Amino acid sequence: MLDDRRDSARSPLFMLVHTPAGAPLWAWDIGLSGMLCRSRILRTPGTYLDLRFRLPGTHDELKAGAQVMTLDQVEEELSLGVRFCMLSAMAQRAIYRFLDHRRVLWESKSDARPQARDVALPLLSELVSGLDEPPAVPAAEEQPFEKLLLEAYASMRAKELQRLAFIRAPACLPRLSALAGRP
């Protein structure tokens, strides 16, 4: 989709995305920064879209402003890489939760979490042998999905704080004397 598309965790999905023009898009993957969609109607890069969609397994309709970043031909359809431009905090959290629940689909088979029995047997043997050491917790480098998800969320929060700081910067606020009409 984008050159930096893997800067945030993404998950495959198949979801209907509504646009005001009436021609729907079909999303194939989603991340905190955007989604990959298929369309039968040409939408050129730079085009702004108002999107409405429901993430699979949820009931809330999410609204997002997005910009078409890439355009590719895939079979008889067009593949659009869209970047979210205006996404509410509620929508960001919903996508974050969705990605968190679907981490197993994102991770490769070798990175997938171990089965309960694979974890329980070594723990039982440690308890029986009298070891008091807790089980080793994988480092963040060994958990690529969590690392990407946390970095994307931190980046999203930093951008929000920068936006709020810009809006509320003391230099941008009017002086009390100007508000009171005094010279």
pLDDT tens-place string over residues 91-143? 999 999 899 888 766 555 444 444 544 545 555 455 445 444 544 545 545 56
Report whether pLDDT(22) > 90: no
pLDDT of amino acid 177: 59
Report which of 39, 42, 30 is spatially closest to residue 2, judged by C-alpha positions.
Answer: 30
Alpha helix stretches (DSSP H) within the chain: 89-101, 103-106, 116-129, 144-167, 176-180
Report whether pLDDT(60) > 60: yes
pLDDT of amino acid 15: 94
Q: Is the model more confident about 149 or about 55?
A: 55
Which tens digit of pLDDT belongs to each residue from 62-89?
A: 999 999 999 999 888 899 999 999 889 9
Q: Is the model more confident about 17 or about 145?
A: 17
Task: Name every residue whose Cβ is closer than 8 Å to that of residue 77 and which is 6 or more positions away in sequence.
Answer: 38, 39, 40
Assign domain 9-131+138-171 one CATH number from 3.90.740.10, 2.40.10.220, 3.30.420.10, 2.60.300.12. Answer: 2.40.10.220
Secondary-structure percent of the chain, ordered helix, strand, coil, rounded to 5: 40, 30, 35
Report whether pLDDT(20) > 80: yes
Which tens digit of pLDDT belongs to each residue from 132-176?
A: 454 454 554 556 666 777 777 777 777 766 666 655 555 555 565
The Cα–Cα gap between 181 and 183 comes to 7
